[in-house]
Amino acid sequence: MVVELPTDIDARGVPSAKSCGSGIGRRRCFHRMLTEILSSDSELEVVGAAADPFIAREKIIALKPDVVTLDVEMPRMDGLTFLEKLMRSHPLPVLMVSSLTERGCETTLRALELGAIDFVTKPKVDMASGTVQLAEEMIRSTDRVICIGASTGGTEAIAEVLDGFPADAPGTVIVQHMPGGFTKSFAKRLDGQCRIRVKEANDGDRILPGHALLASGGYHMAVIRSGASYCVRVGMGEPVNRHRPSVDVLFKSAAKYLGGNAVGVLLTGMGNDGAHGLLAMKQAGANTIAQDEATCVVFGMPREAIALGAAKEITPLNRIAHQALQSTRR
């Protein structure tokens, strides 16, 4: 079930069908078409619509929807304020829909930080065709995460991969074998040269579009699901494959919690850490990529993964960013 929160509805309680002109008329038309699109899917039922957040709160309590679509621009209370209140009192999956929620802008990031599971952008020019495109985006899961593991030679390999990501790249989590004390500086260097934001991971950090989390030296990092979103768990634990952080710990958690919504990338490195985790990701439905021998500083980790049949694709370093991004759009 879905409850939609449009900017305006008519006296019958359904979105107005007035002209799709500028301003209020365009918003009315958009929400009418959004309701029609959602209702056209046999697996979705629009159980209610609300003119403002105060009415929405009562309808959410009464109708108990599975998902809410929420506009940033609403009368009496803006969408972000309502989202924050909703997540405190009645948390449930919320999809932001607005001309303001474009990837990389502060509004979008704030909505994701407050608990929205994702967002789609209102079409700006052709309302009819644009809304059809919106429907296709809503059907496809967008909680995609790119998981990267590396060891010897990995610092420059990771930098090259991240340098190929646009500012709106899927959320990315990275394990690089590196001692404690070095990862914060490495993350800062990457943050300064890439279009995405990069930081050393803290326990509980959310995995957000346009952001990469780097495992701290001396600490394992795993992906977990927290409500309707993904975040990371950071902790000591015993070394795995003689490493902490371990790529296998990250990849196996991705297999468990992300399944087919993940892409696994195993880069240059010595040993076999990450090989079995990449296989687990493949078996869980993720696309899996191993760096090819010609571009590796040390071919050990990718070679072990390839020998296990864990890599769906074997790719030179300069093509891995493109390949990973393409995989998230399939």
Which one-letter DSSP state was computed for residue 223? Answer: E
Residue 195's nearest CA partner among 170, 173, 237, 166 is: 166
* Helical (H) or strand (E) element with 277: helix 275-283
Answer yes or no: are the C-beta atoms of 270 and 299 closer than 8 Å: no
- Look at residue 101 and give its three-state secondary structure: coil
Answer yes or no: are the C-beta atoms of 256 and 291 closer than 8 Å: no
Residue 176's nearest CA partner among 284, 301, 303 is: 301
CA gap 89, 144 in Å, rounded? 27
Do β-strands 220-226 and 229-235 pair in parallel, antiparallel, or remain unpaired?
antiparallel
CA gap 3, 127 in Å, rounded? 21
Exposed / middle / buried, residue 291 (Cβ in 10 Å: 0-12, 13-18, 19+): buried
- Look at residue 30 and give its three-state secondary structure: helix
Which residues, at least 6 apart from 11, have a Cβ–Cβ distance to it below 8 Å? none
Residue numbers annotated as active site: 151, 177, 273
CA gap 56, 314 in Å, rounded? 50
